Structure formats: C-alpha cells, structure tokens
Amino acid sequence: MRHKKPSDEYLVGLGHRLKIIRTYLRLDQKKMSEKMKTAQSQMSKIESGQSAPTLNQLRTIKRLANEDEFLRDNLTWEWILEGKGRGIIS
C-alpha cells in the first residue's frame, strides 16, 4: 500500500502548530528534541515544514502536552493535525 506524501502547505501548518505547543511548554528545540529522541536539526526541519514528524514523535508531543492542565483540557488531536477544533489558538 502506498502512502501519499503530505503537501508542503500541510507540513508547514503542522510544523507551526507543533512550534506553538513547544513554545507554550517553555521548551527550546534542544530540550524538545531530547524528549522526542531526535536531533535538534530534525526538530527544526519538522517545525519549518521541511520534514514530517513520525507517529511516535506526535504521540510524544501529545503526551507532553497532557502534562499541562490547560493543554490536557484544550488541545485536541484535530487541532494538532488539522488546525481545527480546540487548541492553543483557534
């Protein structure tokens, strides 16, 4: 089964939302990349839309967000993945 590559526009939006989450959590790229078990350069590529995060990286971000009371109550997968629904900003 072949998977369709996400569009550049989608990756830029996703990366921007992940950067918003990281910033809200008061983590720099180095600390976030350590928690995601990846290189800081890869974190930069994800946030700039040059690379897609893995499923495990997305789950790690959601897990970290769930440690914050506001994000646990207000951050949905729909917002993370599509920019719709409840999130940090609408």
What is 8-82's CATH number, 1.10.260.40, 3.40.50.720, 3.90.600.10, 1.20.58.1610? 1.10.260.40
Question: Residue 47 has what pLDDT?
Answer: 97
Each residue's pLDDT tens digit, 19-70: 999 999 999 999 999 999 999 999 999 999 999 999 999 999 999 999 999 9
The residue behind tokens 């959590």 is 25
Burial class (CB in 10 A: 0-12, 13-18, 19+), 29: middle
DSSP letter at 70 equals H
- Hey, where are the domains in the chain? 8-82
What does the alpha-carbon distance between residue 61 and residue 72 come to, in Å, rounded to a whole number? 12
Establish how many alpha carbons lie within 13 A of residue 54's alpha carbon, considering only the half-sphere containing its beta carbon: 8
